[in-house]
Structure 1
Amino acid sequence: MKPLFHSTIVDIGELVPAFLQENTLILFNHDVPEELRDMAVLHTRSEQAEEVLPGDFLMIGDCLYRVTSVGEKANETLKTLGHCTIKADGRPTPQLPGTIHVEERAIPSLESGTVVAFVREKGSGGNL
């Protein structure tokens, strides 16, 4: 697998468990403004090597989720703020500009030290 974005969880906001029940994960770099900390999974900064595309994978710890659609602003905010909203609902078209949709499955429990990454199969163009 070729890494596109690689980070490690450093803190988990108080509201994250409620979002996880809706199969939603909100990512931000660890230096996010205070008013956004409660709702976000905070992670180390990552240099984004390439844009995330449908057909790539989200990796949370040992779990892989195929990316089904990517909002038009998601790669930009991921690169600049470490931010995107991930929805594990399998939508083939993005719901919002900053959302990355992945296959529909429960998101595992999270803890500090867990790796969150976007990866691509070697030799794949990232397409479904």
Structure 2
Amino acid sequence: MNTIYSSVIKDLGNDVGEILQADVLIIFNDTVPNELKSVAAIHEQGEWHGEVEIGDDLIIGDIVYRVTFVGEKANETLHKLGHCTIKFGHEGPDLPGTICVGCNETPQLEKGQSIKFVRNLY
């Protein structure tokens, strides 16, 4: 398994839980604009080791989600701002900044939880 990106959630906006009920998660690193802090899961800025692709895994805490769609701008905004919109249980296609993942359950987020994108080499 190759780690593409690994970070830790350091803050959760007040409205993240409500947005998660719609199977959507918005992530940003420390560059999150003030007007979006209430809707974002803010993670520590980390180092990228590649691009997210269809078939990669998103791991939040202990839950693994298979990436089913990567919008044409998603990797660009992830690398620059740590930002994308993640849609759970949606296969795509979707908006350019969106990553879609298969889903059995939407995550219960908490501060200190890990968030990773990984590539399995099998």
> What TM-score bracket applies, with the shorter chain setting the length?
over 0.9
Written as runs of structure 1 = structure 2, the 5 A alignment for 1:102-121 is 102-121=101-120
Q: Give SS of 1:31's match.
A: coil
Measure how far apart 1:31 and its partner are.
3.2
Identity in percent: 50
TM-score w.r.t. length of structure 2 = 0.95
Residue of structure 1 in register with 2:8 after alignment: 8
**Cα RMSD, aligned residues only:** 1.1
Q: Which runs of 5+ in 2 are unaligned?
A: none
CA distance in 1, matches of 2:93, 2:14: 26
Amino acid at match of 1:55: G
Residue of structure 1 in register with 2:47 after alignment: 47
Residue of structure 1 in register with 2:58 after alignment: 58
TM-score w.r.t. length of structure 1 = 0.91
Instruction: Give deviations 1:68-107, integer Å, cap 9, x for gaps.
Output: 010000000000000000001231x331000000003322
Residue of structure 2 in register with 1:126 after alignment: none
Amino acid at match of 1:108: P
Measure how far apart 1:33 and its partner are.
1.8
Residue of structure 1 in register with 2:68 after alignment: 68
- Find runs of 4+ consecutive structure 1 residues off by over 3 angstroms: none
Measure how far apart 1:44 and its partner are.
0.2
Amino acid at match of 2:62: D
Residue of structure 2 in register with 1:82 after alignment: 82
